[in-house]
Amino acid sequence: MLWATARSVREERSRQRYALQDFSLIKVSLVRGKSGWRIGSVEGERNYFADTLSGTREARAAVAAVVRLLRQFLHGEIAHPTLFDDTKSALEKINYKSIDHSGLVDIYTLRFLHTLGYVATTPELNQYLTTREWWQLPVLPEKAVAAIKKAKQASHL
């Protein structure tokens, strides 16, 4: 995630206004300026919050929880391809009606904090941290929930 500025994108004549919305996955060209990044051109791929499949309140709350976690912990300009893949997978799986949204967000949070170095690998958590199709795993055990809580407190963010 990267913070960038754009001018006049809320105006009615702007072609970028629909792509530059919260909760959107976009392709963007960026230009480095004196005071940070500026947006050149934008191509919107998907808005996970406004997606018609995620019309339920629980799904929208899960999307907001994932984005809130990203905004809370990611700062600066470091590339995290693993986090990007996990985040994209989580946001896509939230749209499935058969998935437990709160359980999915909990497992994503555990993997997210582990990737950033806040949660250590233990035998109890190993399957949640290493499985490629992690969204199909059962609900987190109590030790994992405690590890998430401890990691959030230790981060001071």
| Number of structural domains found in the chain | 2
Q: What is the pLDDT of residues 20-43, one digit of tens each?
A: 888 888 898 999 988 889 988 888
Range of the domain at 32: 1-47
- Helix (H), strand (E) at residue 65: helix 57-73
- Whether residues 28 and 65 share a domain: the answer is no
- Whether residues 85 and 102 share a domain: the answer is yes
- Whether residues 75 and 8 share a domain: the answer is no
- Whether residues 21 and 70 share a domain: the answer is no
CB 62 within 8 A of CB 91: no
- Whether residues 80 and 104 share a domain: the answer is yes
Number of CB atoms found within 10 A of residue 106's CB: 18
Positions of the chain with pLDDT lower than 70, given as ranges: 52-55
Q: What is the pLDDT of residues 43-52, one digit of tens each?
A: 888 888 887 5
The pTM for the full model equals: 0.85
- Whether residues 23 and 92 share a domain: the answer is no
- Dihedrals φ, ψ of 29, to 5°? -100, 130
- Whether residues 36 and 67 share a domain: the answer is no
- Whether residues 99 and 132 share a domain: the answer is yes
- Whether residues 31 and 73 share a domain: the answer is no
